[in-house]
Amino acid sequence: MSDAIRVSVPATTANLGVGYDCLGLALDLSADFTFEPSDTLEVVGCEERFRGPDNLVWTTYERTMRELGREASPLRIDIDSPIPLSGGLGSSAACVVAGVLAATNMAGVDREEALDIATAVEGHPDNVAPALLGGLVSSFVTATGETVSTRYDVSDRLRFVAMAPSYEVRTDEARKAVPTEVPTTTAIWQMGRIVACVTALVRGDADLLAKAEDDRLHEPYRRPLIADYEGLRTASLDAGASAFLISGSGSTMIAVCDGAPCADAVARAATVSVDGIWCRDLSASGSGAVVESL
């Protein structure tokens, strides 16, 4: 890398209830990553435990450069991220996307190839796809390893109140809690709702969303891992939220609200319900990650 660049990556929420491992949404909360040439690797701006050569941004950059047949020269990486580390808003996906885009930007690679690389690093596309493309994204991976994503714009009347407790739910534990096989009736239940969920988000139809958001694949098994789930769900729905969802595998939760006044009421109810909870009223972001020269 001959010049300094900044990569801005939006936070994301995956699954959106019934879209388990398929749907993801970019939110208007962004992490900034600055990459500058350096004589030695230096990672700053993050917690001390993430400042070594195993930093996810650096290891992703290094892996991507290797796959592109390039040498990964040392960098100074400055991380400025407001995304909670407790999990559920795509903090790791943001790091992966930043590392991939820093490398592919240098190599002149397009976003489609960058998405395939990011999916391979992250293991699934539900967070990295909206982080790269913006908006609401439905994704799947073909038998040959190609990531296919369909993007939608979400109605600006919907608000997404994110609630992140201080504790973490480890992704591997959350995945172990989910059954590996389900009855056909459960699959039918889910398929009958996922298109309605996407339609409701695009149209801003809060009533349809409330009817569609009744997941049976993963949320019933993950709720017990989040100590504050039931209390926050009750508080949010009583305050007018249309739907209450686990964001990704948790511990962050999302209340979907019809309009800003409802979102304000839900945010107030959440902060009263759980002391010290991180709570933000967010909107969907139509913009994915952005790379700019400095």
Residue 28 to residue 24: CA distance in whole angstroms = 14
Specify the pTM: 0.93
In a domain, 294, yes or no: no
The residue out of 153, 178, 208 marking a domain boundary is: 153
Query: Is residue 170's pLDDT more than 90?
Result: no
Please check whether residues 102 and 185 belong to one and the same domain: no
Least confident of 66-70, 108-112, 231-235: 108-112
The residue out of 134, 153, 172 marking a domain boundary is: 153
Please check whether residues 121 and 231 belong to one and the same domain: no
Please check whether residues 12 and 142 belong to one and the same domain: yes
Please check whether residues 127 and 20 belong to one and the same domain: yes
Please check whether residues 99 and 175 belong to one and the same domain: no
Query: Is residue 290's pLDDT more than 90?
Result: yes
Please check whether residues 78 and 46 belong to one and the same domain: yes
Please check whether residues 101 and 171 belong to one and the same domain: no
Structural domain range at position 62? 5-153
| pLDDT tens figures, 117-147 | 999 999 889 999 999 999 999 999 999 888 9
Please check whether residues 149 and 191 belong to one and the same domain: no
Residue 240 to residue 231: CA distance in whole angstroms = 15
| pLDDT tens figures, 21-43 | 999 999 999 999 999 999 999 99
In a domain, 293, yes or no: no
In a domain, 291, yes or no: no
- Residue 71 CA: distances (Å) to CA of 107, 111, 144, 157, 194: 11, 21, 27, 46, 43
